[in-house]
């Protein structure tokens, strides 16, 4: 039973996505922040338990990053709908994720997995911090503009991460051709 705890936490994160989306869309940013923070906490906890006790599963390997990306993208969609952030930020994130999925599908076919790196994790963390700041700004009319700077840095890191993953993908693809 304990072995399934990381998967249960990942499933909870997936279930929290529509809750976060709903509260953000309703402009109840306090509740959206609470559930987004809960989602982030379950992400950290599930990763910690999975690594510490070697409870890594196929489900977790697939759905953990999917839950992260769906949470991030759905929240960014709401912020675009509400004109809190410009649409190009969302477009960059979606393009990066689609390219990552295409690369991962190719590598999966070759029985190769490229794990996340610090720059990808840093971009994700910065996006979450920026999202939280944006929501709290809107909820409490704080007018703090530094959330946009966080988005700019997160976008730059996202582009850098895509470049680095593409380099890794290219090396693996070249290696696969040489081994034929």
Model confidence pLDDT, tens digit, residues 65-80: 889 999 999 999 999 9
Per-residue confidence (pLDDT) for residue 143, from 0 to 100: 80
Per-residue confidence (pLDDT) for residue 107, from 0 to 100: 66
Could you tell me the CATH number of the domain that includes residue 153? 1.20.120.1760
Average per-residue pLDDT for the chain: 89
Model confidence pLDDT, tens digit, residues 23-46: 999 999 999 999 999 999 999 999
**Sorting pLDDT into bands at 50, 70 and 90, what band is 134?**
very high
The answer to whether residues 82 and 29 touch, using CB atoms and an 8 Å cutoff, is no
Lowest-pLDDT range of 56-60, 82-86, 124-128 = 56-60
Per-residue confidence (pLDDT) for residue 109, from 0 to 100: 63
CA angle 126, 130, 136 (to 5 degrees): 145
DSSP code, position 96? H
Query: In this structure, what token pair is assigned to residue 56?
Result: 């890594």
Beta strands in the chain (DSSP E): none
Query: In this structure, what token pair is assigned to residue 68?
Result: 């992260």
CA angle 150, 65, 136 (to 5 degrees): 35
Of 114 and 20, the one with more pLDDT: 20
What is the model's pTM? 0.89
Cα atoms in the Cβ-side hemisphere of radius 13 Å centred on 132: 14
pLDDT for residue 103 is more than 90: no
Per-residue confidence (pLDDT) for residue 144, from 0 to 100: 79
Of 7 and 166, the one with more pLDDT: 7
Percent of the chain with pLDDT over 90: 57
Q: What's 152-175 look like in SS3?
A: HHHHHHHHHHHHHHHHHHHHHHHH
Range(s) of the domain holding residue 165: 2-178
- As for how many domains the chain has, the answer is 1
Per-residue confidence (pLDDT) for residue 49, from 0 to 100: 92
């Amino acid at each position: 039973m304990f072995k399934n705890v990381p998967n249960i936490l990942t499933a909870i994160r997936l279930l929290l996505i529509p809750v976060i989306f709903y509260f953000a869309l309703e402009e109840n940013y306090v509740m959206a922040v609470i559930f987004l923070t809960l989602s982030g906490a379950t992400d950290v906890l599930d990763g910690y338990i999975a690594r510490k006790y070697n409870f890594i599963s196929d489900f977790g390997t697939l759905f953990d990053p999917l839950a992260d990306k769906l949470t991030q993208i759905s929240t960014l969609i709401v912020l675009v709908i509400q004109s809190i952030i410009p649409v190009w930020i969302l477009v960059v994130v979606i393009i990066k994720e689609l390219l990552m999925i295409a690369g991962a599908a190719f590598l999966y076919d070759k029985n190769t997995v490229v794990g996340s790196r610090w720059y990808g994790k840093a971009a994700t963390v910065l996006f979450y911090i920026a999202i939280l700041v944006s929501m709290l700004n809107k909820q409490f009319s704080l007018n703090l503009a530094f959330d946009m700077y966080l988005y700019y840095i997160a976008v730059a890191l996202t582009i850098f991460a895509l470049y680095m993953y593409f380099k890794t993908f290219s090396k693996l693809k070249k290696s696969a051709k040489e081994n034929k």
